Amino acid sequence: MNVMNVNISTQCTLPTWLNDIGAGEKLQYCELEREWLDSQADLDRQLEKYANLGAYARSLMSSALQQDFGYTLDPDLIITHGRYVFQTAGRVYIQEDRRSLVDLVLHGLHEPGMRGNLTFSGAGLPSDLNQQWLEEIFTSDVRAAFAANLRKAYERRGVLAAMNNFIRQQLLLSGFAAKCQGHLNEHNWQRVQRAIAGDPTLIIAPLLMQADARPLKDLVAIGNRGESQESWLLYAPGSPDGQDWYEKPSFRVLSLEVGAWTATARGRDYLAWQCHALDRERITAYLKQVSQRADAWVGVALAPTPYQGEEVLFSLVNNERAWRVSQEESQTPYGYRTADEELRQQFTRINVELKALQTIHVRQGGFASYEKFCRDLIKSRAEEVLRQRGHKVDINPELIEVQIDERQRMTLHELIVGEFAFYADQTGLPLYPRFVLLDGHPPFNGLDIRDIASWSRTLRPGEQYIDRLSSVDLNASHPEGLFKRGLTLAILQRRMRVAIMQAKFNGQLPQADFTALLGVVDLYAENDRGKINKNADAFGNVTHSVLHQLHLLLRPVEGVYVFRLVMEGRVAEYLFTPDAPDGRELRPFSEFVSAVKTRGLGDYLFERLYVKHQPQVGIYLRDLQELSSAKTPPTLNGRIHLTDFNSCYESLLSKVISDVDEKTRSLREIINGLFFDTAVAAAGAISIVFAPVGIALSAVLFTKAMVQGFEAYGLGDRAKALSHFKDALIELASLGKAGFAKSSVTQVQKDFIGLLGDAFLVEKLVAEASGQPRLHERALEVIQEILDDPQSTSSKTTLV
C-alpha cells in the first residue's frame, strides 16, 4: 500500500489472503483499515482545496458559480462541449471534446482568437453560463496557481498533525497485513508497533540512497539503537517483489536487498519514483550505472532523525510533505508557473491539434494495419472470383477455417497473414486439405480448396504491401500519399513545438534559443526551399539556423534531429529525440554522451538505425555507454542540413522498406510495432485530462497516472507506458462474460475503441497484447455498440 494513494476505497475490501486467517484477525484488519480511511479523510479535510489538483479546481469553480449565479451548482455535473476547427497541410480538422467543467479548467483554454466554440449542458443551468462567462472568470492557469500555493498549505499545523496520523495508520495497517501474510513474525510486529509509539530503544527512519540527496519517500527502516543482534525491518510499499515489509538479519543485508532491485527495470523505476523530484535525474543515472556494474552500489543509509516519543514520525512526515510539494512543482515547473498566460494557452492548443492529428494518423494517415491489409486483400480476391462465377457473397476471412492436414488449421485470414503456402490437386478427393465455414458465415458455392491453395502461393501480401508503400505512400503525386505526407509532417512540427515549450518551461532554454528554435520549426513548416537554402556555399552549407538529421558514423538515425542555431556569431546545437525513454525530447547536443551512458538513449538510438547499420553503429554506442573515456559528443560530420522537410517523411518509409529487405524481422512485426506505437501516442493524448508539462507524454504512466491529484502523471519511461497500455488491452480481452454491457467498459477503453474506429482493428490489437486470438462474441457486440454511439467517447476527431 502506498502512502500516496489518493484513490482509497470507501469500504473494507478483504484481500484474498484474509480467507486463510481467523475471524478475529479479519475484524482487526477491517478496523485498522477503517481508521486508515478516516485518517485519509481527515487529512483531505485539513488540506481543503489543496488535497489534490481536482479538489482545487472544483473549489474554484464552485465558488465562482455560487458568487455569479447565487445558488449551488456542481461543476462535476456541468458538461462542456468544445468544438475547435483548424487547418493544416491543405485539410480541415474538427476536434470535439466532452469534459466536465472541472476537467476543462484543468485542461485550460486556448489563446485568444484560437479558442473554438464552447457550450454547456446540465440540469438547471442558468442562461448566462456560457463561453463568455468562463473566459471572463478563468483568466489564469489553475495548475500554475495550485503549484504556486501548495507549499504554504503543507506548512499548516493541522495538516502536519493529520499527515502524522495518516502515516501512523498506514504503517499499522500494512504491518498487520504483513504479519497475517507471514512477512513479519509476531515479535517483529510488536517491534513495529513499539517503534511507531516512540519506544526510545528503537529507531524508525527513512532511507538515504546518496548522502547529499533527500531521503526516499516510502522506504523506512526499523531497528534497535546501538549494538544488537535483532533483525532490521524494511517497509517498502509496492516494492518490486510484491511485499510491503521485509525482515533482514542486519542493516547490511537490508541494504543489499534494496540494491538487488536495481537489476530490473521495474526495480529501478520503483526506486526512482521514491526519490524527490529534484534528485530524480541524478539518481536515475546512478541506478543505471549500478545495473551495469554491481560494484557501483554504495548502499543505503539511515536518514538523520532527532525525533523520539510522540514526535517519532516527524522525519517521515517532513519527508512526505517535501516529496509531495517537490513532485507537484516538478510537474508544473517554475518556468510554467511564471510564463505568460498566452504561452501556456498556446501550449494547450498545440497539444489539442496534436491529439486530433494523431487520431487521424491512427485511423487513415499512418501505416495501414498489416492484418487489415491482408484481410481486405483476401476478402476482395475471394469476392471477385465468386462474382465472376455468378455468386454474390460477403466473405469473412475470420470465419473460414483452412485445414491443411489434421494438425495444421487456421483461418483464411491467418493463412494469408502468415503466408503459409500449400498445394491441393484434389486427386482422389482426399480428406485434406479442405476448408470449412465456421458458425456465423453464410453458406456459399463456387469456391474450392484449390483456389485458396493457389492464393496461398501467389497472393504475396508482403510484396503487395511494400509495393503500396512505394506507389502510394511515397508518391507525392498520389492524393493519399500527399495526404499522409502532409499529416505526418504536421504531427512532427507540432511535436517539435511541444518539446521546445517543455524545455522552456523546465528552465532548460535561454529565451534567445527558445525563439530561434521555434523559428527553425516555422522555417521547415513553411518548407520554402529557397529560404531554407539561402546564401548556401558551394558545399551547401548555410550561415543561418537549420535542422539536421542525426547521423552516427555517417549512418542516419531515423526520426532524430539536431537543431543547429546560429545567433549573432554564437552557435548552439540541440538534439530532438521524440519518445525519448527519459521523457526529455529536447536537450543540448553536448549532453549526447551522458544521455547514452545514463538515460537509456543508446538502445533508443540503436532501434532507430537501419537494421543493416545496427551492427557497426551498435559497437560505437556500446563503447560510448561503457567506456569512461568516451566523453565527446559526435559532430554533425559536415553533412548538409535538411534541405526539404519532406525528407523527414520519406526517411521513415525508406527505413521500413530497407529493414524488410534485411529479413531479420517480418513485415508484420515491423508494421505492427509502428502501428502499436502510434495507437499508444494517440490513446494517451485522448485519455489524459491535460497535457503534461514537466515530461513528454510518451513517458507518462498510461492508467494510474491519468487521475487528478498528486499522481496526475508520474515519471516513468516508454516501456512502462506501453506495459500499462497493454494491461488495458488485456482487460478488454477478459470481458465478455454473461451480463457484460457497454457500461462495463471504462472511459479509457471506450476512447481507445473510438480511436481505432474499427472492431476488427480493436480485436487484432487486443489479440496482439493478450495472446487471446479472438474476443468473446458479446465483447465484439459491445465494441460495435460503442462505435455506433457518438456519445460513448469523450473525444471526436473529424477530417473534412
Query: In 253-390, where do the E strands start and end?
Result: 301-302
CB atoms within 10 A of CB 319: 22
CA dist 140 and 434 (Å) reads: 69
Band (362; pLDDT cuts 50, 70, 90): confident
pLDDT > 70 fraction of the chain, expressed in percent and rounded: 84
- Asked whether residue 712 carries a pLDDT value surpassing 60, the answer given is no
Average pLDDT over residues 49-75: 94
**Residue 183 near residue 247, CB atoms below 8 Å:** yes
pLDDT at residue number 699? 42
Task: Dump pLDDT digits (tens) for 237-264.
Answer: 999 988 999 999 999 999 999 999 999 8
CA dist 184 and 203 (Å) reads: 17
pTM of the model: 0.84
- Asked whether residue 598 carries a pLDDT value surpassing 70, the answer given is yes
Cα angle for residues 157, 158, 160 (degrees, 5° grid): 65
CA dist 158 and 149 (Å) reads: 17
Q: Please state the domain extents for the chain.
A: 1-76+126-182, 183-332, 492-662, 700-799
Q: Considering only CA atoms, which of 710, 715, 688 is closest in space to residue 44?
A: 710
DSSP β-bridge partners for residue 400: 437
Average pLDDT over residues 176-182: 95
pLDDT at residue number 741? 52
Band (781; pLDDT cuts 50, 70, 90): low
Task: Dump pLDDT digits (tens) for 286-335.
Answer: 888 888 888 889 999 999 999 999 999 999 999 999 999 998 888 888 99
Q: How far is CA 643 from CA 524, 540, 556, 559, 646, in A?
A: 9, 9, 15, 15, 9
Band (748; pLDDT cuts 50, 70, 90): low
Backbone CA torsion sign across 601, 604, 607, 610: negative
The one-letter amino acid code at 273 reads W
CA dist 66 and 377 (Å) reads: 60
CB atoms within 10 A of CB 45: 12
Task: Dump pLDDT digits (tens) for 601-634.
Answer: 999 999 999 999 999 999 999 999 888 777 778 8
Task: Dump pLDDT digits (tens) for 522-545.
Answer: 999 999 998 998 888 877 788 899
Q: How many residues does the chain have?
A: 800
Average pLDDT over residues 12-29: 82
**Residue 507 near residue 330, CB atoms below 8 Å:** no
Q: Print burial letters for 461-479: b (CB count within 10 Å at least 16), e (below 16).
A: bbeebbebbeeebbbeeee
pLDDT at residue number 707? 28
pLDDT at residue number 758? 65
Question: Could you please report the per-residue DSSP string of 425-479?
Answer: --TT--S-SEEEEPTTPPP--S--HHHHHHHHHH--HHHHHHHHIIIIIT-TTSH
Better-scored residue on pLDDT, 657 or 691: 657
Residue 339 phi/psi, 5° resolution? -70, 160
CA dist 31 and 14 (Å) reads: 12
User: What is the DSSP secondary structure assignment for residue 98, as one 8-state letter?
Assistant: E
CB atoms within 10 A of CB 368: 18
Band (704; pLDDT cuts 50, 70, 90): very low
CA dist 286 and 528 (Å) reads: 45
Better-scored residue on pLDDT, 581 or 222: 222
> What would the grid cell of residue 115 be?
479558442
Look-up of cell digits 473525444: 795
Backbone CA torsion sign across 721, 722, 725, 731: negative
Look-up of cell digits 505568460: 340
